[in-house]
Amino acid sequence: MAAEGTRYKSAEETAEYYEFRLPYHRKLFRALARRLRLNKRSQVLDLCCGTGRLTAGIAPFVGQAVGIDNSEYMLSKVPEIANAQFIIHDISKAPFYSGQRFNHFLIGAAIQYIPKDTLCEMIEYSLDRQGAVILCHSWWYRSSSWLLSVNRLRQEYSDRSTRHGYVGDREGDTTLKECLMFMKDHIVLKSTFTFTPDWLINNQLSYSTSAKKMIADKANVSAKILRIVSPHINNGKLSAEMVSEAKIFSRIE
């Protein structure tokens, strides 16, 4: 997670567009529930939960889900979930303790903002000895030339100052190894995702490193993206291959 001021500003700028992030495959959470043998006694903690997409996906398979994030604005966008609780907490400043051990931790695309020492301490004191840390992510697979051009356009608007608080290791593998957690399972689900050009424009506005500049120049950004994708629109839609994955890490006893 980024430092409080920067993270809060970027949260305000991107929270409205988070619904346009690549979705998780509809079968991902059911597959996780089977692999982890989740049941109504299971308790999971979603670190840096943002608008609660992971929490919402796993909640039907567990007894209790808790999501933490340092942005009150992000948490104001979470859906109502009967068996979920959302708590404001800045994990970049201090570990989160609730007085219980969770069966599993979930982390989305924010592990690079969690200090290693903080994560290791939480694994030691707040995760069951048999528990797992699950890293979840959705991404474009085999990007077509037009999608690569759209991504290059977004990079032109990137502002590296929004990465204040960024501690690296975007994939999370190295960090978790240093916490003595090792990957024991890997769920990968591929699909073809169909979407409108407007959805793609809003998707590109949802990334914190470029959101501020792109939103300020939204009319031009929209026109540029439409010029790139227009030859590839079919019946008002675009399509591309995507992947949802969950990497499951556990202790080696």
Report CA Rg, the chain. Answer: 18
DSSP string, 106-135: EE-TTGGGS-HHHHHHHHHHHEEEEEEEEE
Domains and CATH numbers, the chain: 4-251 (3.40.50.150)
The DSSP call for residue 234 is B
Reported as a single tens digit per residue, the pLDDT across 66-83 is 999 999 989 999 999 999
Nearest to 221 by CA among 242, 244, 237, 197: 197
Q: Report the predicted TM-score, pTM, of the whole model to 2 decimal places.
A: 0.88
240 vs 161, residue with greater confidence: 240
Distance (Å, whole) CA 248 – CA 35: 9
Rounded percentage of the chain residues whose pLDDT exceeds 90: 74
Name the band, by pLDDT with cuts 50, 70 and 90, for residue 162.
very low
- What average pLDDT does this structure show over 176-180? 93
pLDDT higher than 50, residue 8: no
Burial class (CB in 10 A: 0-12, 13-18, 19+), 215: middle
| pLDDT tens digits, 23-54 | 999 999 999 999 999 999 999 999 999 999 99
pLDDT score, position 144: 85
